[in-house]
Amino acid sequence: MNLLIVGGDSAEAFRQRATGRISRVEHWSGRKHRDLVRTIPKATEAVVVVLDRVSHALAKRVRGEASRRGLPVYFLKRGQQRDVGSQLDSACFDVQQYRALSTHG
């Protein structure tokens, strides 16, 4: 699974906890103006927005693009990054399950 992290200072917590399940983690800091015009990579299967210094405009844009493409979007508060391991292991990060639920609901 390829994961896009938007916001936060680092995606290192995701990389450390995601060994085995996640093959690639891309990180956008969310602090640069050019992040507003970037497009989500085609291989991305899930998006995590860390609400740490991410503008409302960027969060809205990323959410909209991901929704159009049928990608799951997860929002984390800054303190929740420590618990990312349990969240990565939980069913909410199972993309197949998400897609099955989104097509039936």
Q: Based on the structure, what is the number of domains in the chain?
A: 1
Cα 42 from chain centre: 14
Residue 33 pLDDT exceeds 60: yes
Strand-by-strand arrangement of the 24-28 sheet: 24-28, 2-6, 46-50, 73-76
Parent domain of 53: 2-104
Assess contact for 46 and 1: CB atoms under 8 A.
Answer: yes
Length of the chain (residues) = 105
CATH, residue 43: 3.40.50
**69 compared with 94, residue with greater pLDDT:** 69
Q: What is the pTM of this model?
A: 0.73
The mean pLDDT of 9-35, rounded to a whole number, is: 76
Q: Output the DSSP codes for 23-71.
A: SEEEEE-S-SGGGGT----TT--EEEEE-SS--HHHHHHHHHHHHHHT-
